[in-house]
Amino acid sequence: MAKETSLFASRLRMELGARNRLHAQGRLHVESYGNPPVIVYAPEEDTRHGNFFDAAFAAITARPEWSRRFEKIHAQARSLPKSERKWRELDSSMSSDALLMNVFCTPAVTESPEMRRMLGVDMHEIAEKEIPEQERPDFGWKARVLLGNGRFDRTEVDMRWGGLLVEAKLTESDFQNCHSMLIEPYRDLDVVFERELLPRVQIPIGRSKASAEFPEDYSQEEIIVPADEWQPQTSEMQREFISGYSSYQLIRNVLAAYAQNASFCVIHDARRPDLREAWFEVMRAVKDAAMRVRLKVLTWQELAAVLPEDLQQFLGAKYGIVAPGEAAPPVEATSGLHAF
């Protein structure tokens, strides 16, 4: 499964890289030093940002609670050219958070009855300007998940929208692995899950080492061959592992939804069936029937079908995301699509 996950993720990164190299033409951007390089965009006088649909970026900058997401510094900033402005995670063309905000910050999207129905969010017949703050999407929401010792884990959820929590994925390799000691202290773990059904993984400790890295193993050996022919022993040293859980983010967010009496949805790209399979593995371990019916999964492609036409064009050109049954524009055809 790990090899398949790596293959799906790599293919998607390659496609997004090609699409964004064309999309970036005429927009402020740099390329990372990696191989293959990643396109990272910069804002243009605070009015446009190459990584964002124009209407979404205008809405983000108009709402301080949304624009605060730009405070998160890019974790791999050292792999990028230096800039007076620090690079942010939302600048990256591979950012699932940027994709999430492109969709849900665009005006009229959260007011769409079709979108609300698809995600199971309560519908209200009110004008956009009258929507209560608690019914607008909240990005990077801090949940409070109770631990067995009475303390709380302030889990960050990608988006909370009313009674719905969302985990968004794009090119991430997986939902992260973790040591058992990070999962098992949650108070409601055995209330919500059949623990033995949760996906497990062996986590390596440190890195694999060859014995030649330890000179004390051979520096006092009696040399019985000519010095220019002698080679130290280079057999592989045994690597140690500890038992842990895979899909840590999913387990944690299901517990967050349970604590909030909320629903939980994973949104992923249809080109990442490995992520859907990982989510199904966690879902089958949920034993609380009331919680199980509040869990769901959707693809960006399914959401695209109910989005405004101009936003659909943007997603198709930049991400290759189109509604089911439609063909994504060829990469070569996206080079002239700059009016977003």
With left for phi above 0 and alpha for psi between -120 and 50, is residue 45 left, alpha or beta? left
- pTM score, whole prediction: 0.85
With tokens 């988006």, the residue in question is 159
Tell me the backbone φ, ψ of residue 168, rounded to 5 degrees: -105, 135
- What per-residue confidence (pLDDT) applies to 242? 85
Domain ranges of the chain: 2-201+242-334
- CB-CB contact of 160 with 138 (8 Å): yes
Which stretches does DSSP call E strand in the chain?
A: 29-31, 39-41, 43-44, 48-49, 138-142, 145-146, 152-153, 156-161, 164-168, 178-179, 200-205, 240-245, 263-268, 295-299
Band of pLDDT at residue 271, cut at 50, 70 and 90: very high
Band of pLDDT at residue 270, cut at 50, 70 and 90: very high
Percent of the chain with pLDDT over 90: 69
Neighbour count for residue 171 (Cβ, 10 Å): 24
- What per-residue confidence (pLDDT) applies to 221? 44
- CB-CB contact of 118 with 298 (8 Å): yes
Cβ-based burial of 284 (10 A; exposed 0-12, middle 13-18, buried ≥19):
middle
Convert the pLDDT of each residue in 155-186 to its tens digit.
Answer: 899 999 999 999 999 999 999 999 999 999 99
- CB-CB contact of 109 with 309 (8 Å): no
- What per-residue confidence (pLDDT) applies to 240? 82
Please state, in angstroms and as integers, the Cα–Cα distance from residue 101 to each residue in 104, 176, 235, 334, following that order. Answer: 5, 22, 50, 22
- Least-confidence region, from 2-11, 194-203, 286-295: 2-11
Convert the pLDDT of each residue in 30-54 to its tens digit.
Answer: 999 988 899 999 999 778 999 999 9
Over the chain, what is the mean pLDDT? 87
Tell me the backbone φ, ψ of residue 319, rounded to 5 degrees: -115, -15
